[in-house]
Amino acid sequence: MAFATHQARTVTEILVLNVYRQPALFPLVVGLLYYLGAWVGVHYAALESGIVVLWPPNAVLLAALLSQPRSRWWLFVLVVMAAEVAADISVFSLFHALLFGTINIAECVLAASLIRWFLDRNLDWSEPKDLSLFLITVFFIASPLAALGGASIYFFLLERDTPFLTLWRLWWVGDATGLIILTPFLHMIFSSGLLKQAVNSNWRVRLELVAAWVIGLIVCYLIFMFDLASEDYLALSPLAVVVAPAWVAVRFGPFAGYPLATAVAMFVAFASASGVGPFVGEPQDHSALLTQEFIIIFTVLLLFVAAFVDQNRRKSGELKKALVKVQHLNQELEERVQQRTQELSDANQQLQALALTDELTGIPNRRRMRVLGEEEARRSERSGRPFSVMLMDIDHFKQVNDQHGHAVGDECLKAFVRAISPSLRSIDRFGRWGGEEFMIVVPDSDHVDLLSLSEKVLECTRDIVVDVDNQKVGFTVSIGVAEWHHATFDKLVSEADDALYRAKAKGRDRVEINLRGLRVTE
């Protein structure tokens, strides 16, 4: 079913393009429609006196000119002139037919040129400003100027008895009425927009459109074919014919409302020309004027209502899209801010870690160890439980650097860290105090055998071997330990440093301990 629907749409669009856009075929179609419009205007839109309520053919040419590039206008001029002569030759001479054709063509070319010049783009019937330009150009410029030529032919060449101003007014309003009613509808067909929308609509829309057409035409029939204003019926105003077209225009936009509005306007014109309806009376020029005024007011009102409603709908849609876009942009901005904030936080953490981490060994540096030691001192003051500071210095490290180079010395430092780290608890804090000096902060040291821990460190250090050019380099370490006794961290470091000095003085590769300010020797 979906494939069939898509196939039907494709076929319809192809037909529209093949019929209306072919360089040779489309002008012939326009010429035929122009001839039919003239025939309908003479036989169905004219009163018994010959007064034409509306003149349809000019709308065909104007719609064609508005839908085609200027380079192709000459084709439409030729076929329309031929159609004009064919339609008039049975009533007027060839000379008069050519004059009428020239006036009608000049009217349409003038209107199309002005509209194109002011817009510099295609006419959009859903834009109120475009619609205003069309109405001003057609009603106040093109039609009254063309009416001067038409009235002159009737008054001076055909020598009609009707006053010149009356002839001018009849031609002016008749042409303007036909252009206002039919041009939007025909222009949309020639531009293929109407047919595409009709094909693309779903069955609910089509059903509602059919209902509107039926209701609209029934109302027209009741008002203009029956005398409902008599005492036997309730008065039904001619304005009731506006309801159905306005309903469609508001619900579905100008492209759906204009065809029904055109049909209603044509019904009103044909009914009045046939001598029926609320506008028929004496004299006939008064009847024609009432009908024309009603048709023009009805059509213009509907055109503007449809245009403004469609514009409001489009603006609302654009506003919703803009709001959605703003929401997406805000969301993206928030995500970017969060991302940048996270990146900044990560960078700060990395910088902080770099600032507090020894670059060579990857363990806390002197600054970090001082912070950790001071925190332990405060915790011990609160809890009363001691902690200890172990200072370690690699023995004869300067000789290693002098004999093997600083690169080997760096490898020795990293090997020392790798050997000592596994022997410590997870709560112990191991860091580099500076150069070849290292520190271990031992929390809750009253539960730790500091001597055994120190011996373990000494043994692990003795087992370290660094390969250098097929030579094995080993080293030892001296240790000084100080246990907290309500002293500051700096005091403990000083006591541990004193103990380390004693260990160095006593031969190195040993430990000296200060327990709560008291010296304990291994």
Structural domains of the chain, with CATH: 2-325 (no CATH), 366-521 (3.30.70.270)
Q: Kindly indicate the confidence band of residue 200, based on its pLDDT and cuts at 50, 70 and 90.
A: low
Of 3-12, 150-159, 184-193, least confident by mean pLDDT is 3-12
**Average pLDDT, whole number, for the chain?**
85
pLDDT at 116: 93
pLDDT at 14: 46
Prior bond of 283 cis (ω within 30°): yes
**Per-residue pLDDT for 522 more than 70?**
no
What average pLDDT does this structure show over 494-505? 94
Which of the given ranges, 7-11, 202-206, 407-411, has the highest pLDDT on average? 407-411
What average pLDDT does this structure show over 267-296? 81
What average pLDDT does this structure show over 262-278? 85
What average pLDDT does this structure show over 396-424? 91
In angstroms, the CA 425 to CA 251 distance is 79
If one compares 63 and 192, the residue with the highest pLDDT of the two is 63
**Per-residue pLDDT for 419 more than 90?**
yes
pLDDT at 51: 67
What are the tens digits of pLDDT across the range 132-149?
999 999 999 999 999 999
If one compares 373 and 43, the residue with the highest pLDDT of the two is 373
Of 34-48, 129-143, 494-508, least confident by mean pLDDT is 34-48
Which of the given ranges, 146-155, 299-308, 341-350, has the highest pLDDT on average? 146-155
Tokens of 102: 């020239």
In angstroms, the CA 78 to CA 28 distance is 10
**Per-residue pLDDT for 42 more than 90?**
no
What average pLDDT does this structure show over 30-38? 93
At 49, is the secondary structure helix, strand, or coil?
A: coil
Share of the chain above pLDDT 70, in %: 89
**Per-residue pLDDT for 518 more than 70?**
no
**Per-residue pLDDT for 48 more than 70?**
no
Share of the chain above pLDDT 90, in %: 43
If one compares 5 and 116, the residue with the highest pLDDT of the two is 116
Q: Kindly indicate the confidence band of residue 118, based on its pLDDT and cuts at 50, 70 and 90.
A: very high
What are the tens digits of pLDDT across the range 3-17?
333 444 444 444 444
What average pLDDT does this structure show over 188-193? 72
Cα separations in angstroms, 206 against 5, 65, 186, 201, 486: 14, 30, 20, 7, 94
pLDDT at 45: 75
350, burial (CB in 10 Å: exposed 0-12, middle 13-18, buried 19+)? exposed
Q: Kindly indicate the confidence band of residue 64, based on its pLDDT and cuts at 50, 70 and 90.
A: very high
Of 114-118, 217-221, 227-231, 250-254, least confident by mean pLDDT is 227-231
**Per-residue pLDDT for 215 more than 50?**
yes
**Per-residue pLDDT for 111 more than 90?**
yes
Look at the pTM and tell me if it is higher than 0.75: no
What average pLDDT does this structure show over 101-119? 95
Name the helix (H) or strand (E) containing 331. helix 284-355
In angstroms, the CA 321 to CA 249 distance is 23
**Per-residue pLDDT for 306 more than 70?**
yes
If one compares 453 and 227, the residue with the highest pLDDT of the two is 453
**Per-residue pLDDT for 414 more than 50?**
yes
**Per-residue pLDDT for 1 more than 90?**
no
In angstroms, the CA 80 to CA 37 distance is 11
Cα separations in angstroms, 294 against 52, 131, 265, 298, 300: 15, 19, 9, 6, 10
**Per-residue pLDDT for 37 more than 80?**
yes
pLDDT at 459: 94
In angstroms, the CA 244 to CA 159 distance is 45
**Per-residue pLDDT for 491 more than 80?**
yes
What average pLDDT does this structure show over 188-202? 63
